[in-house]
Amino acid sequence: MNSAYALPMLTIFPALGALALLILRSDDHKFIRGMSLFVATAEFLFSLVLIPGVPIGSSGYRLELNVPWISSPPIHFHMGVDGLSAFLVILTTLLTPISILASWNSVQRRVKEFFIMLLMLEVGVVGVFLSLDLFLFFLFWEVMLIPMAFLIGIWGHDRRIYAAVKFVLYTMAGSILMLVGILWLYNATGSFDLVEIQRALQTGALVLPTQTEMILFLAFFLAFAIKVPLFPLHTWLPDAHVEAPTAGSVILAGVLLKMGTYGMMRFCLPLFPVASRKAAPYVAVLAIIGIIYGALVALVQPNLKKLVAYSSVSHLGFVVLGIFSFNTIAMQGAIYQMLAHGISTGALFLLVGMLYDRRHTFDIKEYGGLATPMPRLSAFFLFVALSSLGLPMLNGFVGEYLILLGTYIVHWKWAAWASTGVILSACYLLWAYQRVFFGEVTREKNRTLPDASARERFILATMSVVILWMGIGSVFLTRRTASATETIRKSMERQQWPQEAAAPAPATSAVITLERSGNR
Amino acid sequence: MNFSTPSPEDFYRVMPELLWCGFGVLLMLLQPLTKNRAFLTVVAFIGAAAGTASSLLGVRYAGMGFFGLIQSDTFSLFFHVLVGAVAVLVILAAEPYLSREKLQGAEFYALILFATAGMGVLASAQELLTAFIGLEMSSIASYVLAGYRRDTLKSSESSLKYFLLGSFATAFFLYGIALVYGASETTLLTGMGHVADSQLSLLKLGLALILIGLGFKVAIAPFQIWTPDVYEGAPTPVTALFAAGPKAAAFALLLRIFATVPAATQYWFWAFWILAVLTMFAGNLGALVQNNVKRLLAYSSIAHAGYILVAFAAVTGMTSGESGNAGGVPAYAAVLFYLLSYALVKVGAFTIVSQLGGKDEKYVTLEDYAGLSQRHPVAAAALSLFLLSLLGLPVTAGFFGKFYVFKAAVNSNLIWLAVLMAVNSIIGAYYYLKVIVAMYMREPSEDSAATAPISFPATVNIVLAVSAIGTVYFGLFPNQVLRLLLEKNLIGGLK
């Protein structure tokens, strides 16, 4: 097989699986589950080719495929992968089989459709990460909405319809303005191809007037900020999370939110550097508000799932802050935090889902002293909570540390404010843990709850291994994302910036520190 | 001009219209002779299909026909195939509907064929009185079709409303023709380019009246009030025809006027800008509060007329010399592609509505659609596909339709119009989602008779398959059609 077709194959494969499911009989639930698990696992193994596919230190895109699709306007089926997208794809393909396993027993209604939706969601998300044509990107961006909306709307909880509609409307509002932006950009450049547009901008063949650039930046940024979600555009997120079934929440928090931060790194920064720099202080303020606000709301949440949802707002605020500090270390940290958050928050949602399967409530008051009837589950919960609050040696620490370090180098005040989020995250997670698992068993029902089953132990053990590995083996990832980060940062430097010329020292030291951490 | 006998080629150029009318007359003659519904349907089907196929003949004989009254070109071919295909699909979809409602078949089919012939004339008319004849042919047949369920109040109301308001509109159209003739001393579109400056205001006024007349036909705000009532009252297969056919044909005439009369493009830019915004908001805001799916789709078709007007504004904005069009899709092609995607979807959607309605079209509210995904998964999936296409989601034809309109607007620097269209798309998303939500996420109400599983007749399934496959195909490969639409001499008079 020509390696150029690896990426489209990777994107299409789950769709083929979904198609097979659609055709096959729908009454044998066991078979459907097994089949979709097989497809998703195969997809995961397949996606691992991206790791050797993106060698350390390689710049530019790998495994590129660029074939014309529509002649007028010239739209190409252009896909490629670099250090940034490779791991996000792998995160997606890892979380999908995990979600399938997690829904093994909890989904009993319209089983076939459920797994078809999950697989189609995977198609959309993988496509988003791999597309290098703005049009193709937009296409996958929109396509992925529908399966997610269905997942929330059909298999969700009480207010599922409200949450599903809100989710779709919010996302569409942003993305349709992005479409206008994409078209405007096309008018200026005559191309939808990200690589071509970037080249035109870098060589000076195309110079966007500052005002135009600002408007275009906002058109893209708004779509991404809604997805992230950045304060104050976050209100769809708690609703979507609380109402979504466990698998939906895992994918939503694990991957979908990263599409926003990925979009910022892939499109906003390289295409509109001047506007990005101008907007950075405002974005940073919003991100910091998000960090603190998300944490404070999580602190007072009586609903365990909402608590985790708001912790996402807080954690993603860190990612946005890292991206918009334009510092290599912080951006590396942002990428790392995206992956780490995907794993640890995904795992938190899995755990919350397991509790829900047992008691059918998210109310913290309904729990208490669960460590007695279910010691294993509570041990896993503690481990995951610690990783989420950023305990050293676990994955959450690396990302937050790099972000705060990188941001501190450039804007120490930002870092100072943001670091309160770290403290608060310890507060809300540990306090929630204490209320749910420690103390006396307050409800009689909870006394007899079964501990984690073999299937659940397998899921949680997998996630825990990844958490631990990411915490101690972070170099494996940072080495591979370094060149992508560097490329993005460099692509912002085409215009000479007076303030940067005056103080080049931080940027240089950032590179040195990074290289010391085992690079090249 | 030599008004002797028309040449044989001229007859090839109107072959579709001849066939459609001929089969229409044949059907009416057959009506007293046979009671065999299937036979009549087959005759109607053959007539519609033969007419559509024969439009390909016109291309062989491209050029002016009947002394410049009509023009056979790629543009007219496109619309002949479009309205012809709509007629074929509507005939197929109508058969089970007619037998369910115990309505006569032959007259119904004949009227559809006459209406289609009128639309064909509209699409190729190169002269205003010819266009008027086409407009009347399609309108009068439509008035009758709207009231075809004559024992129901709603259908009669629909017919009467359509007739009264339609007559007003026709009058406007005629006044417009008179004024234009006064200004330019011709009714040939090609002859209107050279009007003396002193007559210019008269020409403008005449063109404005023509716009009002056509604006009524395509349901542009503020001439859209009739649409929901007429669409709701008419038999649903007829609604499918209304939504797809006459609209396309009237837009075709508008486009042709644009392409040929320079004065038209210069003065209508702001008119289209404002009308587009009004129409989009009128349609979308109206649809928001609808609980009846038929009315909802009626309002949505108003909104879509608004989107198409955005492309019209782009046509005019472009010719006023603001921006080039390098390598892009011209606004003309955007309109045509939009109409194609829109016709496919509306025919499919209304066909499903007509089937789900049951006897006397009782089940048309959102509550009746609740839980449809369990009763008839294929219908629910197909209707969702159509609604998503109307919404403009990727992998559907509607997405590319909207995309090209967006692009046309942005190309002509109409950023605000594009943004307003974006806002409207979001409003639209809400009510399309409402239907999908009802079908997939709500449980059917238990006491309703609409809970029983249902199945569709074969002809309906064919219609749905054609619409659905077409919607997805053009959503993946718009190239095929675009290549045709991007031809240099798409419209005969276009430079």
* Spatial CA neighbour of B302 closest among B326, B289, B323, B285: B285
Contact A161 B410 (CB under 8 A): no
Mean pLDDT of B422-434: 89
pLDDT tens-place string over residues B393-412: 888 898 888 888 888 888 88
Which tokens go with A427? 């507060």
CA dist B137 and A196 (Å) reads: 53
Percent of chain A scored above 70 by pLDDT?
A: 94
Nearest 5°: the CA angle A215, A221, A225 is 145
Mean pLDDT of A192-203: 83
Mean pLDDT of B246-258: 88
Contact A172 B440 (CB under 8 A): no
Contact A187 B406 (CB under 8 A): no
pLDDT tier at B345, thresholds 50, 70, 90? very high
Mean pLDDT of B436-465: 78
Instruction: Work out the minimum CA distance from A72 to partner chain B, whole angstroms.
Output: 6
Kindly tell me if the per-residue pLDDT of A491 is higher than 90.
no
pLDDT tier at B451, thresholds 50, 70, 90? low
Q: Are the CB atoms for A378 and A460 separated by under 8 Å?
A: no
Length of chain A: 520
The span from the first CA to the last CA of chain A, in angstroms, equals 31
DSSP letters of B35-92? Answer: --HHHHHHHHHHHHHHHHHHHHHHHHT-EEETTTTEEESHHHHHHHHHHHHHHHHHHH
> Looking at this protein, which amino acid is placed at residue B230?
V
Q: Which of A335-339, A436-440, A477-481, B450-454 has the lowest mean pLDDT?
A: B450-454
Residue B492 is predicted with a pLDDT of 56
The span from the first CA to the last CA of chain B, in angstroms, equals 23
Kindly tell me if the per-residue pLDDT of B22 is higher than 90.
yes
Mean pLDDT of B108-129: 91
Kindly tell me if the per-residue pLDDT of A222 is higher than 50.
yes
Q: Which domain holds residue B357?
A: 268-495
> Looking at this protein, which amino acid is placed at residue A160?
R
Mutate to test the interface with A, among B284, B403, B435, B473 (most CBs of A within 10 A): B403
CA dist A259 and A279 (Å) reads: 20
Q: Is A293 on the interface with B (CB under 8 A)?
A: no
Residue whose structure tokens are 């649809």: B287
Residue B4 is predicted with a pLDDT of 67
Percent of chain B scored above 70 by pLDDT?
A: 92
Q: Which residue has the higher pLDDT, A24 or B211?
A: B211
Residue B356 is predicted with a pLDDT of 86
Q: Is A138 on the interface with B (CB under 8 A)?
A: yes
Assess if residue B159 is contained within a domain: no
CA dist B430 and B426 (Å) reads: 7
CA dist B123 and B255 (Å) reads: 9
Mean pLDDT of B112-140: 91
List, in order, residues 6 or more apart from B389 with CB less than 8 Å away: B341, B344, B345, B396, B397, B398, B399, B471, B475
User: Which of chain B's residues have a Cβ under 8 Å away from the Cβ of A70?
Assistant: 477-479, 482
Q: Which of A126-140, A447-461, B41-55 has the lowest mean pLDDT?
A: A447-461
* Spatial CA neighbour of B381 closest among B464, B458, B452, B459: B464
User: Which of chain B's residues have a Cβ under 8 Å away from the Cβ of A142?
Assistant: 393-394, 399
CA dist A221 and A282 (Å) reads: 12
Name the average pLDDT for chain A.
84
Residue A509 is predicted with a pLDDT of 42
Q: Which residue has the higher pLDDT, A21 or B321?
A: A21
Which tokens go with B140? 């009068």
pLDDT tier at B140, thresholds 50, 70, 90? very high
Which residues is A133 bridged to in the sheet? A193
Q: Are the CB atoms for A257 and A220 separated by under 8 Å?
A: no
Number of structural domains found in chain B: 1
Percent of chain B scored above 90 by pLDDT?
A: 30
Mutate to test the interface with B, among A11, A19, A23, A72 (most CBs of B within 10 A): A72
Give the count of beta carbons closer than 10 Å to the beta carbon of residue B360.
Answer: 12
User: Which of chain B's residues have a Cβ under 8 Å away from the Cβ of A184?
Assistant: 410, 415
Q: Is A285 on the interface with B (CB under 8 A)?
A: no
Residue B447 is predicted with a pLDDT of 56
CA dist A482 and A168 (Å) reads: 34
- Residue B406 has its nearest CB partner, among A71, A164, A179, at A179
- Residue A164 has its nearest CB partner, among B425, B441, B478, at B441
- Residue B426 has its nearest CB partner, among A70, A161, A172, at A172
Assess if residue B222 is contained within a domain: no
Assess if residue B95 is contained within a domain: no
DSSP letters of A240-262? Answer: HHHHS-HHHHHHIIIIIHHHHHH
Kindly tell me if the per-residue pLDDT of A510 is higher than 60.
no
CA dist A310 and B259 (Å) reads: 57
Instruction: Provide the number of CB pairs (under 8 Å) joining chain A to chain B.
Output: 86
Kindly tell me if the per-residue pLDDT of B322 is higher than 50.
no
The secondary element (H helix, E strand) that includes residue B143 is: helix B128-146
Q: Kindly identify which residue of chain B lies nearest to residue A73, measuring between CA atoms.
A: B328
List, in order, residues 6 or more apart from A512 with CB less than 8 Å away: none
Assess if residue B286 is contained within a domain: yes
Mean pLDDT of B187-198: 77
Mean pLDDT of A450-462: 87
Q: Is the dihedral of CA B402, B404, B407, B409 positive or negative?
A: negative
Contact A161 B430 (CB under 8 A): no
Kindly tell me if the per-residue pLDDT of B237 is higher than 60.
yes
Q: Which of A114-128, A138-152, A358-372, B285-299 has the lowest mean pLDDT?
A: A358-372
Kindly tell me if the per-residue pLDDT of B46 is higher than 90.
yes
User: Which of chain A's residues have a Cβ under 8 Å away from the Cβ of B482?
Assistant: 70-72
Assess if residue B352 is contained within a domain: yes
Contact B395 A143 (CB under 8 A): yes
Q: Which residue has the higher pLDDT, B400 or A446?
A: B400
Alpha-carbon torsion angle A191, A193, A195, A200, nearest 10: 10
Alpha-carbon torsion angle B468, B471, B476, B478, nearest 10: 150
- Residue A183 has its nearest CB partner, among B406, B440, B482, at B406
Q: Kindly identify which residue of chain B lies nearest to residue A151, measuring between CA atoms.
A: B441
Contact A142 B393 (CB under 8 A): yes
Burial class from Cβ neighbours inside 10 Å (0-12, 13-18, 19+) for residue A505 reads exposed
User: Which of chain B's residues have a Cβ under 8 Å away from the Cβ of A71?
Assistant: 479, 482-483
CA dist B413 and B323 (Å) reads: 7
Q: Which residue has the higher pLDDT, B219 or B360?
A: B219
Mean pLDDT of B416-443: 87
pLDDT tens-place string over residues A106-139: 888 888 888 888 999 999 999 999 999 988 899 8
Q: Is the peptide bond before B246 cis (omega within 30 degrees of 0)?
A: no
Residue B471 is predicted with a pLDDT of 92
Which tokens go with A488? 């993005």
Contact A179 B429 (CB under 8 A): no
Q: Is A496 on the interface with B (CB under 8 A)?
A: no
pLDDT tens-place string over residues A227-278: 888 888 888 888 888 888 888 899 988 899 999 999 999 888 888 888 888 8
Kindly tell me if the per-residue pLDDT of A512 is higher than 50.
no
pLDDT tens-place string over residues A42-101: 999 988 888 887 888 777 788 888 888 877 678 888 888 888 888 999 999 999 999 998
pLDDT tens-place string over residues A26-42: 678 888 888 889 999 99
Residue B488 is predicted with a pLDDT of 61
Q: Which of residues 68-87 of A touch B (CB under 8 A)?
A: 70-74
Convert B178-210 to b/e letters by CB count within 10 Å (16 or more is b): ebbbebbebbbbeebeebeeebeebbbbbbbbb
SS3 B117: helix
Nearest 5°: the CA angle B230, B236, B238 is 70
User: Which of chain A's residues have a Cβ under 8 Å away from the Cβ of B479?
Assistant: 70-72
* Spatial CA neighbour of B269 closest among B340, B321, B223, B214: B321
Residue whose structure tokens are 């609980």: B291
Angstrom distances, CA of residue A499 to CA of A407, A505, B343: 17, 12, 57
Q: Which residue has the higher pLDDT, B323 or B80?
A: B80
Mean pLDDT of B284-296: 90
pLDDT tier at A161, thresholds 50, 70, 90? confident
Kindly tell me if the per-residue pLDDT of B141 is higher than 90.
yes
List, in order, residues 6 or more apart from B95 with CB less than 8 Å away: B37, B38, B41, B105, B457, B459
DSSP letters of B164-197? Answer: HHHHHHHHHHHHHHHHHHHHHS--BGGGGG---G
Kindly tell me if the per-residue pLDDT of A502 is higher than 60.
no
Q: Which of B111-115, B368-372, B435-439 has the lowest mean pLDDT?
A: B368-372
CA dist A30 and B479 (Å) reads: 43
Kindly tell me if the per-residue pLDDT of B325 is higher than 50.
no
Assess if residue B56 is contained within a domain: no
> Looking at this protein, which amino acid is placed at residue B312?
F
pLDDT tier at B3, thresholds 50, 70, 90? low
Residue B126 is predicted with a pLDDT of 86
CA dist A495 and A498 (Å) reads: 10
Kindly tell me if the per-residue pLDDT of A188 is higher than 50.
yes
Contact A183 B437 (CB under 8 A): no
Contact B441 A168 (CB under 8 A): no
Q: Which of A57-66, A372-381, A384-393, B181-190 has the lowest mean pLDDT?
A: A57-66
Residue B115 is predicted with a pLDDT of 94
CA dist A67 and A79 (Å) reads: 9
Could you tell me whether strands B70-72 and A62-70 are parallel, antiparallel, or unpaired per DSSP bridges?
unpaired
pLDDT tier at B319, thresholds 50, 70, 90? very low
Kindly tell me if the per-residue pLDDT of B317 is higher than 80.
no
Chain B residues contacting A, CB < 8 Å? 323, 326-329, 388, 393-395, 399, 403, 406-407, 410-411, 415, 418-419, 422, 425-426, 429-430, 433-434, 437, 440-442, 477-479, 482-483, 486
Assess if residue B283 is contained within a domain: yes
